[in-house]
Structure 1
Amino acid sequence: MTIRSTRRAFLRSGAAAVPVLAFSPSANAWLSCSDAAADAIAIPDLDGELLTDPADRAAAADDWGHIVSETPLAVLVPASIDDIRKAVKFCRQHCIKVGPMSMVGNSHSTQGQSQARCGLVIDMSGLSEIHAINPGDAVVDAGVRWFELLQQTLPLGKSPPVLTDHIDLSIGGTLSVGGIGGQTPQHGLQADNVLELWVVTADGDLEVCSPTSKATLFNSVRGGLGQFGIIVKARVKLIAVKPLARHYTAVYADVATLLADQVALMNEGRFDYVEGLGFPQPDDSYVLTIECVKYFDEGAPPDDAAMLAGLNFIPGTEAADTQPLYDFFDRLAPIVAFTKITGEWYLPHPLTDFFLPLSEAADFIESTLAVTPAIDIGYGPVLIYPFPRSKVTAPFIPLPNEPVSVLFSLLRWAPSADPAVAADLVAKNREVYEGVREVGGKRYSIGSVELDFGDWILHYGARWPQFLARKLIFDPKNTLTPGQGIFPW
């Protein structure tokens, strides 16, 4: 689907909006009349919508976290990549910050990472066309969501190698942060499975990059947190998949045993998907569960006994079911629908994700869960699963200095909308983060942990000089994605 609109005949909610014609640096405002201020600067011609209505700006000041709210001056709903080029170039010339965000259901960021205080938010859902599906790849706009791509590829027996657990996320957004899921132990991150990118730089230029063409830009924007350019289109890898999913679960007595089995499965490649989950209980304990999936054709189901052979779960806790592969990929949809009905979906979500070195992971996770009551997780759950460091090729995804990293995620749902409750959980995230750093771990940069400039330097470690150098090359005015809070200028 492509958004189509008449130039400057902007419509919103069925009513005509006031056209934006100029920007005033002195007033720091967009104007509906080109001579409304002495320093009024005419904006470029745009085919999309530039929205300044308070309701649209308020929507762009929210995300899935519902914790940080930074109101922009305007929201651009682009009708083309050219709209983004013009807008970014204009903003750079006039020192206006730019934050790309998918506003279909709000951004999935949790700490204002996609927001742009007093700047311009670009609603990337305005670019939502699937351009081509080829035997080994698909070319898609950055605003396409993963479930939309799957609906077209699965009937052809194809899927991206890696999917996040929640597939109602934009492709450009997850490529910018990394994109991790239960297929990562075999295939790396989503950012490791992109073949070509179309990027609008801070100069407003459109660059096409890949591992063999403009590789420096390509490797910067993959997992680059939006600091070096805006991904506007991507060629993502596709692999052959079977139409059905055999889904196995089993309960474990402790984290160490769970991790040992997960590592063995990772090395063997027995399953197509492996994750681990900790479900909080009323007594503040956690039920530790492995979740594994094997794709298969109808008429040739996997042998359950063989698939579970050698695993050290608690006997009698194993279970298996079969479902269409798409239903497995979209397994969170019923939970999302239910929590929207009950209202929990709209509460703060101060979640946080970490990468731990395998040697420290079991003890660290056990000790952290011991002091994390169920009320501090809410719907949760906790995620626990290992993956090989060698599978992650995006250079700006910091990982522990061991061959195997372990994802440890506290997917917190605040029990109320009280800002003090969310603030307390964010502070607890910071405490966990301090412990993660002490054992040589890293943070996955999508969650709710407040970092200062020094923290970011420690986060990137030996890669910080390169990260800074790329910023000075590709975005020296620090125009792009200020919500990450990396650079104080």
Structure 2
Amino acid sequence: MSQQPSRRAALRGLAVAGAVVAGFDPGTRSWAVSGDRPFAGVPDLDGTLLTDPASRAAVADDYGHIVHRTPAAVLRPGSVSDVVAMVRFCNRHGIEVAPRGQGHTTLGQAQLAGGLVVETEPLAAVGAVDTVRSTVTVGGGARWSNVAKATLADGLTPPVFTDYLELSVGGTLSAGGIGGQAHRYGAQVDNVVALEVVTGAGELVHCSPRRHADLFRAVLSGLGQCAIIVGATLRLVPAPSTVRHYVLPYADLRTYLEDQRVLAEDERFDYVEGQVTADAAGVFGEGFVEAVAYGNPVDDGRLLHGLRYDPAGARITDLPYYDFLDRIAPAVAQLKESGLWYWAHPWLNLLLPGARTEEIATEILSSLTPDDLGPGLVLLYPLRRERLTAAPLLRVPDDPVPYLFAILRTTPPDDTAKIERLLTANREAYDLALSAGGHRYPIDSLSFTVSDWRRHFGPVWGELAAARHRYDPRGVLGAGQGIFI
């Protein structure tokens, strides 16, 4: 979705902090101000190229607060044309580029040392809803919260949301976008009609399952290796006005998992997630299935039939639909106020084969202490493999009902020894899952080598590598992931 230029720079170069950026010095890997010649000229831009220390430092961090890489400059685009111009410029000079949405990565995936970070947040327009086709076209930097608010005005909604709504559309589509509705509708990448992207070669391309299909497949869950998402056309479904929200407690892991599997397979609920706890000895403490039925009235007897939860601890609440979608907003505000939002987050996200989930989760939980988890949580909930079909780069176990197992640790950022120990534990847990046919959901804090990535993508590695060669032949994109380095 192209955005109209907001303004055109009057000078050849860009006013930044009282100086004029004249070009990039390949020798020093830095931008130079006017008077320092010779340099290739920076293109005219509608937005701003920032080289001041504060702007560069602001993007040398992410939600993980573990990795810190400082770029040479930050592009705050005023238009999609700015992204095209600067990616082409970076190609000429061999400068690496990383798009950054809301910076919610946890191990520096959107950071670069000495390169150009492209902030996509200014590309946040939400177009008019097409009520005939039930679609909406939005900018890659649009937040899902704003997309939801806009589409609800027409009684429609994207079918799948991550739990945290303040993420960018381009960011979650680059990873996959898994949420509690995925057992019914697939991931967010399964609900994309078309994309507008800037390739690593600096070409603006519209792609879809029928147009430049190889690029479309390489971008969805492609971790930014071939193109930057600057726009997306999303599928919409009718939105409910209210929902009924169930929190159902379980005393043992096997029953918890078996009931979740039933709910995933019969699709009686529109949303299914859940959390588990472990005591100090690593023994399963309690599980809470979180399930939501859209609409009102609903039949509690039918929805809860056959489930083996503890009725004494069950909670059932009716909520407006958007309040349900944005239900963690108060908790996020508390985390920011307390400062815990700015602690380190050495997260681990695994996709486990359903047949082995109890075994693997039990072993990993056995070494998870309350101190290591901190004020974090552990998510464990089912998906449906047959619903996850549109994005082959989203690697899912070969099991009809795989489970997302996410250990969302929170720990003081200055305890580097503990962070390193938890990162090591992440690798050990991943290796265990891999041996059982599991995969990583790569939004977490897990260092991968190129050989790890080749194994991760497995049968689709060749397709990704071919798309990379075709659409980013100089390899300027996605260095923070370490996939092709």
Give 3-state SS (helix, strand or coil) of 1:21's partner.
strand
What amino acid is aligned across from residue 155 of structure 1 in structure 2? A
* 1:401 matched to 2:398: yes
**In 1, distance between residues paired with 2:447 and 2:73?**
26
Q: Which residue of 1 aligns with 2:45?
A: 46
What amino acid is aligned across from residue 437 of structure 1 in structure 2? L
What amino acid is aligned across from residue 447 of structure 2 in structure 1? E
* 1:436 matched to 2:438: no
Q: Which residue of 2 aligns with 1:91?
A: 90
Give 3-state SS (helix, strand or coil) of 2:21's partner.
coil
**In 2, distance between residues paired with 1:183 and 1:317?**
24
Change in CA separation of 1:406 and 1:36 when aligned onto 2, cut-off 3 Å: same
* Contact 2:64 2:107 (C-alpha < 8 Å) held by counterparts: yes
Cα deviation code 1:111-145 (max 9, x no counterpart): 11111221000000011111221120111000000
**In 2, distance between residues paired with 1:8 and 1:304?**
65
Q: Which residue of 2 aligns with 1:412?
A: 409
**In 1, distance between residues paired with 2:44 and 2:255?**
61
Which consecutive residues of structure 2, in runs of 5 or more, have no partner in the other structure?
none
Structure 1 residue 284: deviation in Å? Answer: 5.5
**In 2, distance between residues paired with 1:335 and 1:422?**
24
For residue 466 of structure 1, the aligned residue among 446, 463, 467 is: 463
Superposition CA RMSD, Å: 1.9
**In 2, distance between residues paired with 1:216 and 1:79?**
29
Structure 1 residue 376: deviation in Å? Answer: 1.5
**In 2, distance between residues paired with 1:182 and 1:342?**
27
* Contact 1:279 1:380 (C-alpha < 8 Å) held by counterparts: no
Structure 1 residue 315: deviation in Å? Answer: 3.5
For residue 366 of structure 1, the aligned residue among 356, 362, 365 is: 362
**In 1, distance between residues paired with 2:420 and 2:180?**
30
* Contact 2:253 2:358 (C-alpha < 8 Å) held by counterparts: yes
* 1:218 matched to 2:216: yes
* Contact 1:102 1:170 (C-alpha < 8 Å) held by counterparts: yes
**In 2, distance between residues paired with 1:112 and 1:17?**
30
TM-score normalised by length of structure 2: 0.95
TM-score normalised by length of structure 1: 0.94
* Contact 1:99 1:122 (C-alpha < 8 Å) held by counterparts: yes
* Contact 2:264 2:401 (C-alpha < 8 Å) held by counterparts: no
Structure 1 residue 282: deviation in Å? Answer: 6.5
* Contact 1:24 1:37 (C-alpha < 8 Å) held by counterparts: no
Structure 1 residue 58: deviation in Å? Answer: 0.5
Task: For 1:60-459, list aligned pairs within 5 A.
Answer: 60-103=59-102, 107-135=103-131, 136-279=134-277, 286-296=285-295, 300-393=296-389, 394-459=391-456
**In 1, distance between residues paired with 2:63 and 2:416?**
14
**In 2, distance between residues paired with 1:246 and 1:263?**
20
Structure 1 residue 323: deviation in Å? Answer: 1.3
Cα deviation code 1:173-232 (max 9, x no counterpart): 101110000000000110110101001111111110111111111111011000011110
Cα deviation code 1:315-372 (max 9, x no counterpart): 4221101111111111111111001111100001111101111110011111211210
Q: Which 10-residue stretch deviates more, 477-486 or 275-284?
A: 275-284
**In 1, distance between residues paired with 2:4 and 2:14?**
16
Structure 1 residue 428: deviation in Å? Answer: 1.0
Q: Which residue of 2 aligns with 1:7?
A: 9
**In 2, distance between residues paired with 1:209 and 1:120?**
25
Q: Which 10-residue stretch deviates more, 239-248 or 16-25?
A: 16-25
What amino acid is aligned across from residue 329 of structure 1 in structure 2? L
What amino acid is aligned across from residue 24 of structure 2 in structure 1? F
Change in CA separation of 1:356 and 1:8 when aligned onto 2, cut-off 3 Å: farther
What amino acid is aligned across from residue 29 of structure 1 in structure 2? S
What amino acid is aligned across from residue 414 of structure 2 in structure 1? A
* Contact 1:8 1:46 (C-alpha < 8 Å) held by counterparts: no
**In 1, distance between residues paired with 2:280 and 2:402?**
30
Q: Which residue of 1 aligns with 2:482?
A: 485
**In 2, distance between residues paired with 1:72 and 1:133?**
37
Q: Which 10-residue stretch deviates more, 49-58 or 358-367?
A: 358-367
* Contact 1:280 1:381 (C-alpha < 8 Å) held by counterparts: no
Aligned-pair identity in percent equals 41
What amino acid is aligned across from residue 451 of structure 1 in structure 2? F
**In 2, distance between residues paired with 1:416 and 1:482?**
24
Structure 1 residue 403: deviation in Å? Answer: 2.1
Change in CA separation of 1:275 and 1:318 when aligned onto 2, cut-off 3 Å: same
Change in CA separation of 1:8 and 1:250 when aligned onto 2, cut-off 3 Å: farther
